[in-house]
Amino acid sequence: MAQFNNLIQVITHFADEVVATEHLIQMRWNGNITCVHCNHDKIYTLKGATKRFKCAGCRKQFSATKGTIFENSAIPLQKWFAAVYILTSHKKGISSHQLAKDISITQKSAWFVLQRVRFALKSGSFNYTSTDTIQCDETYVGGKEKNRHQGKTDKVERMLSRRAQGLPMKAKAGAAEKTAVFGMIVTGGMVKAEVVQNTTTETLTGIIEKNIQPGITIVTDDYKSYRKLQQNYTHKSVNHSKGQYCKNGFHTNGIENFWSIFKRGIIGIYHQVSDKHLDKYIDEFEFRFNNRKCTEANRFDKMLSLCNTRLTYAQLIAE
């Protein structure tokens, strides 16, 4: 199988749509094509310029892209694959404006391509072992400047700055202007983050309990919503308000590093992300971060293997 270590190789190799389709079939089914309608494993390949299959069970036909993010797209796979390569290999991602120019499609199409790829990147898995330490933290992103009263902006900024210093947040009302994101990272391992409606004990503990088994060592800062963690976990907290960043070897540097990469990407590349779509950008940054030790080629193929999920424009807008 071909290995792709740079964008030129991807574009050159997949210039032929037949070659691109074969690669997709390989990544998607790994040699054992199954029916996308009924999962039957006896499949005939039909004759014709574009590869199509027919199921021996339900007799229905389907193409190689049926049921994937590439389905019913007028954009050739060569351009899709270039977009996948760019998005999975550029550390901070790429804006739809830039991608549109780079691969010669409209900005609207580029936006849709990127949203579909992000959708497929949503992994959901979070792996750790019982001896791992998991760092948990929350942060705030975005904010609609134009809808915001100047005084409120300052209030939110003040609150965030107080929060960063570990001081109590008095300006609670202003917090609604920014979107809260909660994240968990295995020290030296993978990260999982999501948008949260608020940062109460109930919300944050709920997510932690859903993802992390009792007894695990969890490190947080001294925010009050984490205080109850000691009931079910070995809870270590770092007292940022007292200028403490490492206590007996425990720290939250991993999750703070992820927030920093994420925020630099959001500010530098995407400028303004609507709350509605923020989760998809988180998935994108998560995928790159969690596969940071893979080669470019492996990351590219890994993404293609995740393409068995189709997001239509209507769903994307409706969400």
Q: In what order do the strands lie in the sheet with 61-63?
A: 43-46, 52-55, 61-63
Question: Quick one: 55 or 297, whose CB is closer to Zn ion?
Answer: 55
Nearest distance, CB of residue 28 and Zn ion, angstroms: 16
| Count of residues that interact with Zn ion, criterion CB under 5 A | 7
Question: Quick one: 46 or 173, whose CB is closer to Zn ion?
Answer: 46
Nearest distance, CB of residue 63 and Zn ion, angstroms: 14
Interacting residue with Zn ion among 2, 15, 18, 38 (CB under 5 A) = 38
Nearest distance, CB of residue 121 and Zn ion, angstroms: 28
Strand 133-141 and strand 217-221: the pairing is parallel
Q: Any contact of residue 92 with Zn ion (CB under 5 A)?
A: no
Q: Measured between alpha carbons, how far is 114 from 21 in angstroms, rounded to an integer?
A: 20
- Indicate the DSSP class of residue 177: G
Question: Quick one: 57 or 189, whose CB is closer to Zn ion?
Answer: 57
Locate 65 and state its tokens.
């892209």
Residues 267-286 as x/- pattern, contact with Zn ion by CB under 5 A: --------------------
Question: Quick one: 57 or 166, whose CB is closer to Zn ion?
Answer: 57
Nearest distance, CB of residue 40 and Zn ion, angstroms: 4
E-assigned strand segments in the chain: 43-46, 52-55, 61-63, 133-141, 179-186, 191-196, 217-221, 234-238
Question: Quick one: 60 or 277, whose CB is closer to Zn ion?
Answer: 60
Nearest distance, CB of residue 62 and Zn ion, angstroms: 8
Q: Any contact of residue 37 with Zn ion (CB under 5 A)?
A: yes
- Amino acid letter for position 233: Y
Cα 241 to chain centroid distance, Å, stands at 31
Instruction: Find where tokens 């400047």 sit.
Output: 145
Nearest distance, CB of residue 308 and Zn ion, angstroms: 15
Residues 149-168 as x/- pattern, contact with Zn ion by CB under 5 A: --------------------
Q: Any contact of residue 184 with Zn ion (CB under 5 A)?
A: no
Question: Quick one: 54 or 122, whose CB is closer to Zn ion?
Answer: 54
Contact by Cβ (8 Å): 281, 273: yes
**Shortest CA distance to 212 belongs to which of 106, 130, 283, 139?**
130
Q: Measured between alpha carbons, how far is 180 from 175 in angstroms, rounded to an integer?
A: 8
> What does residue 199 show for φ and ψ, rounded to 5 degrees?
-120, 40
Residues 42-61 as x/- pattern, contact with Zn ion by CB under 5 A: -------------x-xx---
Nearest distance, CB of residue 43 and Zn ion, angstroms: 8
39-47, 140-148, 253-261, 296-304 -> range binding Zn ion (CB under 5 A): 39-47
Question: Quick one: 61 or 201, whose CB is closer to Zn ion?
Answer: 61
Nearest distance, CB of residue 44 and Zn ion, angstroms: 11
Interacting residue with Zn ion among 7, 17, 22, 40 (CB under 5 A) = 40
Nearest distance, CB of residue 65 and Zn ion, angstroms: 17
B/e letters for 141-159, b = 16+ CB within 10 Å, e = fewer, are bbbeeeebeeebeebbeeb
- 315-to-105, 115, 116 alpha-carbon distances in Å: 22, 11, 11
- Write the DSSP assignment of 228-293 as a string of letters: GGGGTSEEEEE-GGGT---BTTB--HHHHHHHHHHHHHIIIIIS---HHHHHHHHHHHHHHHHTTT
Contacting positions for Zn ion (CB under 5 A): 35, 37-38, 40, 55, 57-58
